[in-house]
Amino acid sequence: MHRKKKNIFKPISLFLFILLFTTIVIVFKPAPKNDYVISHRGASGEEIEHTFKAYDLAIDYGTKYIEQDLVTSKSGTLYISHDENAKRITGVDKNYSDMNDKEIDKLRTSDHQPILKLEDVFKKYGDSTYYAIELKEKDNSRAIKPFENLVKKYDLKDKIIVQARNKEALGTLEINFPNMQKLILVNTEDELNEALKHDYIDIIGANSKLMNKNNIKKTHENNKEFNVWTLNSSDEIKKAIDLNIDSYFTNYTAKALLLEDNYR
């Protein structure tokens, strides 16, 4: 009786097809929508900026990154504030650098929330989220060492984008954290072009007026990412998506994530 030979190539071909398809899916899998969105001072369009309420809301929306601006107290402790003066948020017209920790700890926002230390935020969230942390003061020298110490203490070096206007501060951090992403904030074309020369800078954080195809192209040609601040309107965010920029800051996390989901 003649038996038909089993075709062993069919299962092998099927296996190779599945392997190839899986590889293609992995390689070309789109980035999660929250890779592009950095919650500017938390969900600051809806809650008071740099408070646990603002951070919690942004995280609940699905953000990947929450932002902190750092100022240094008279005692040398890192607090989180966009302004070097406490008046806008707390009503007290004093610079943080002129207050000791006890004075700052007594301050409250209009809805009775405290001014947070960076360590408060690290303790609460740990490695459950990512951080975009700006060295805010004109003189960053006092902030660098306590920042490095806290990052090491909580082992968060792989969870942070560190940002500054001062490229020297970023260069200093390159020594101890060579793999931490470094973002330089630029306001002008000349500042952007200067930033492109430095290998330790990974991300150009550009004023939104610099958001155009040419600047994105030359940033990418220099092996850096192009970031923009701060995009809040739907039209601005849609433009960023259309230009395929790498990331942007926004006060409206939920809106940005929805637009990313619909248009990216």
Give tens-digit pLDDT for 114-135: 999 999 999 999 999 999 999 9
- Give the C-alpha separation, 105 to 99, whole Å: 10
**pTM greater than 0.85 (yes/no):** yes
- Give the C-alpha separation, 236 to 212, whole Å: 12
Give the chain's domains with CATH numbers: 32-263 (3.20.20.190)
What's the Cα-to-Cα distance from 52 to each of 118, 121, 123, 141, 264, rounded to whole Å? 12, 8, 12, 27, 29
Strand partners, 38: 65, 249
Backbone angles phi, psi at 254, to 5 degrees: -60, -45
14-69: pLDDT as tens digits: 555 555 544 444 445 567 889 999 999 999 999 999 999 999 999 999 999 999 99
Strand partners, 162: 133, 182
What's the count of helices (H) and strands (E) in the chain, helices before strands?
A: 11, 9
Q: Could you tell me the two tokens for 192?
A: 């952007």
213-245: pLDDT as tens digits: 999 999 999 999 999 999 999 999 999 999 999
